[in-house]
Amino acid sequence: MADPKIQELLTKSRNELTEYEIAQLEEYEFSSGPLSILQTAVRSHTQVLISIRSNRKLLARVKAFDRHCNMVLENVKEMWTETPRLADGKKGRPVNKDRFISKMYAIPHPTGQIRTSTRSGSRVVPELDRVESYDTMYNGVLMNV
């Protein structure tokens, strides 16, 4: 159970809190809430399995994340299953496929798609784009956008 100070902060609305109190509350949420899984993965450099749309999965190490679950991922193995069509039009045997991506910037979107920002504004793209580089604040420079 959280200490009384944190319990008091949890009962207040965010617009009533000072910046210091918001920072305390976010630190508590990162260490004990749903984001604690990502926080633990960042600190211990363990791999996480992320399920994304189209039944694809990412096995990766989380380098950084924020409270919106935007993530900088490293050593990413993207895995999926394709079912090819046979000559007569019937479904064939499922084939497991994968690819390696050294660095990736994942931005979740409410529709289950990945949103990236470009020079002409933001757009929804069918797959995750790759990170070319990122600075000390983990602002990603995306390739092929």
Please check whether residue 59 lies inside any domain of the structure: yes
Answer yes or no: is pLDDT of 124 > 60: no
57 and 119 inside one domain: yes
Helix (H) or strand (E) holding 140: strand 140-142
Evaluate if pTM is beyond 0.75. Answer: no
17 and 86 inside one domain: no
Please check whether residue 99 lies inside any domain of the structure: yes
Q: 93: helix, coil or strand?
A: coil
pLDDT at residue number 110: 63
Instruction: Give the span between the Cα atoms of 110 and 95, in whole angstroms.
Output: 29
Please check whether residue 39 lies inside any domain of the structure: no
Average pLDDT over residues 9-31: 85
* pLDDT tens column, 72-82: 889 999 899 99
What domain count does the chain have?
Answer: 2
Mean pLDDT of the chain: 75
Cβ-Cβ contacts under 8 Å for 100 (sequence gap 6 or more):
75, 76, 77, 78
Residues facing residue 141 across a β-bridge: 133
